[in-house]
């Protein structure tokens, strides 16, 4: 819900409650946004990769609750593609 800004439901919620970092957000929206930093959120929510455009290859939390950045730290440090999505990595021929 917090990353799919091109979806209709995100546009409806942001029009109704505001967007954090944009115009003044409602208390409800600030509370939802605050869930991102709480352990409860990471432990109880999952993300569907879909086409991979909204999923960052190195930073997404994968199986085992660890990002590729943390699991393969040396490869991450050597990479010049640190901010790429799964979709873009696949386009570059790095997907299977």
pLDDT digits (tens, 9 = 90+) for 51-86: 888 888 998 888 777 889 999 999 999 999 998 999
Cα 83 to chain centroid distance, Å, stands at 11
Assess whether 27 and 55 both reside in one domain.
no
- The pTM for the full model equals 0.52
Domain shared by 15 and 60, yes or no: no
Task: Clarify whether residues 34 and 76 are in a common domain.
Answer: no
**What distance in Å separates the CA atoms of residue 23 and residue 86, rounded to the nearest whole number?**
30
**Cβ atoms of residues 26 and 17 within 8 Å:** yes
Q: Which domain holds residue 62?
A: 47-96
* Same-domain status, 20 and 56: no
55 in the same domain as 30:
no
Whether 25 and 70 map to the same domain: the answer is: no
The whole-angstrom separation of Cα 71 and Cα 14 is 34
Residues 60 and 78 in one domain: yes
Same domain (yes/no): 87, 56 = yes
Q: Work out the pLDDT band at 15, boundaries 50, 70, 90.
A: confident
């Amino acid at each position: 819900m917090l990353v799919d800004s091109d979806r209709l439901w995100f546009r409806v919620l942001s029009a109704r409650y505001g967007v954090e970092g944009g115009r003044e957000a409602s208390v409800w929206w600030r509370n939802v946004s605050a869930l991102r930093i709480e352990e409860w959120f990471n432990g109880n929510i999952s993300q569907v990769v879909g086409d991979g455009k909204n999923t960052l290859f190195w930073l997404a939390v994968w199986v085992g609750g660890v990002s590729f950045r943390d699991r393969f730290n040396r490869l991450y440090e050597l990479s010049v593609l640190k901010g790429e999505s799964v979709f873009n990595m696949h386009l570059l021929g790095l997907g299977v």
